[in-house]
Structure 1
């Protein structure tokens, strides 16, 4: 499916969007529905990927926002943006598994980078990716992100982030210069 930017509108999420966002993020990463797309974490993590409280914190935050891509009023993709001085953090990126592989993810990432640069004047985008997700890291590398080798531990024992199915999970920081 060809997904061009003209088919989508980009809007910041509101409190009214929380339930749809939880469902979207969950469907993109966990459970059987996530296997329809290529971003699934179902083999390495079970349980929830996010919760309403976490999303509300982002939506209401002073230096954070949830950018959504909508088609015909329905949220089909989202990402978290957080202003961190000279950089922005990009996270909670989710694309509906039914439309993955058609370019929407790349379009959302480019829009997030554009907005972070123009709205906050940041010079870098940062993100963390589970280090065993080689296919996902390679996708980001093709879009200009570089691996830093800087790792942070996975929050084992905190079910808000899922139930790990292996004991070697950690996050690697990826960075891309903007502008």
Structure 2
């Protein structure tokens, strides 16, 4: 792994193709299985598309943060200002780089950014409830399960094709600052 430092910046329209490829590789298909954050056993199909990523890049109350090393895109995450809190989502790290500590660095940067630009006092996210290993990872970083669940949008193939009938999202929260 290169030893140069990570740099962070806000995504631009020109970044969309690389972001779509990164997100797809981290969540879906056989490539995603080389990392530990794959959803390939829960969902088939696409995780996102250029239109959805472009909308995130252009969405004013939020930003899509990019992490680069030596000018190479290696991770991204979405943060969005939602009144009294910030929302965290679309978190992707290149599968071959997962498990080496990058995720916690990027998550911490997202939390700092939300505090600095919006004075956010809490970060929220939704995670597929059946992703127990991923939820445990977030719990080790200070997030707590709320037990508040929302149904998975079955029938909306823009978010994937469910491979089981019991998927739902659970809200996780963490106080900031």
Distance in 1 between the 2:60 and 2:67 partners? 21
What TM-score do you get using the length of structure 1 for normalisation?
Answer: 0.96
Partner residue in 2 for 1:134: 132
TM-score normalised according to structure 2 size = 0.97
Q: Which runs of 4+ in 1 moved over 3 A?
A: none
Distance 2:55 2:32 in 1: 25
Q: Where does residue 79 of structure 2 map in the other structure? A: 81
Deviation at 1:61, TM superposition (A): 1.0
Aligned partner (choices 147, 151, 169) of residue 145 of structure 2: 147
- 1:45: Cα distance to partner? 0.3
Aligned length: 177
Matches of 1:28 and 1:123 in 2, distance apart?
29
Q: For residues 62 and 129 of structure 2, what CA distance do their matches in structure 1 show?
A: 24
- State the SS of the aligned residue for 2:14: helix
CA distance in 2, matches of 1:49, 1:66: 16
Alignment partner of 1:155: what SS? coil
User: 2:148 and 2:52 mapped to 1: Cα distance?
Assistant: 25
Query: Which of 107, 116, 133 is equivalent to 2:105?
Result: 107
SS in 2 for 1:151: strand
